[in-house]
Amino acid sequence: MSTVSRASLDQKLALAKRCSQEATLAGAKAAAVATVASAVPTLASVRMLPWAKANINPTGQALIISTVAGMAYFLAADKKILLLARRHSFEEAPDHLKNTSYQGAGRPHPAFFRP
C-alpha cells in the first residue's frame, strides 16, 4: 500500500478548489445570459399574447425564468468540471497512456484521431 504525502494532498485540494471556482464562474455567466434570454420573450409574450396574459401569472413567469437560469448554470458548470477533469487526468497520466495513436496498420491516422 502506498503512502500519499501531505504536499500531494494539498496540491490536489488546491487544484480542486480552483476547478470548482472556474466552474462556478462559468455557470454564473451562463445563468446570467439565460436569464436575459428567457426573460425577454416570457415578459413580452405575457404582454402581447392573450392566452399568456390570461394563464401565466407573475409566479409562473418567475418560475419559467428561474428554471431556465438554473438549468443553464448546472449544464455550464458540469461541462466545465468535466472538461477540467479530463484535461488534468490526461496531464497526470503515464506516458504510455498518453500516446493514443495506433501504429499497427502501417499508415498514419487522420489528425482528428490524435490527442
Q: Are residues 33 and 69 in the same domain?
A: no
pLDDT tens digits, one per residue of 24-41: 999 999 999 999 999 999
Amino acid occupying residue 110: P
Q: Are residues 28 and 71 in the same domain?
A: no
Q: Where are the alpha helices (DSSP H) in the chain?
A: 6-48, 50-55, 58-91, 95-98
Domain with 83 in it: 56-95
pLDDT tens digits, one per residue of 50-104: 999 999 999 999 999 999 999 999 999 999 999 988 888 877 767 766 666 655 5
Total domains in the chain come to: 2
Q: Which residues contact 98 (CB under 8 A, 6 or more apart)?
A: 90, 115
Q: Are residues 72 and 49 in the same domain?
A: no
Instruction: Please indicate, yes or no, if residue 115 is contained in any of the structural domains.
Output: no
Instruction: Please indicate, yes or no, if residue 43 is contained in any of the structural domains.
Output: yes
Q: Are residues 12 and 45 in the same domain?
A: yes
User: CA-CA distance, 66 to 72, in Å (whole number)?
Assistant: 10
Instruction: Please indicate, yes or no, if residue 87 is contained in any of the structural domains.
Output: yes
DSSP for 51-81, please give it.
HHHHH--HHHHHHHHHHHHHHHHHHHHHHHH
User: CA-CA distance, 88 to 82, in Å (whole number)?
Assistant: 10
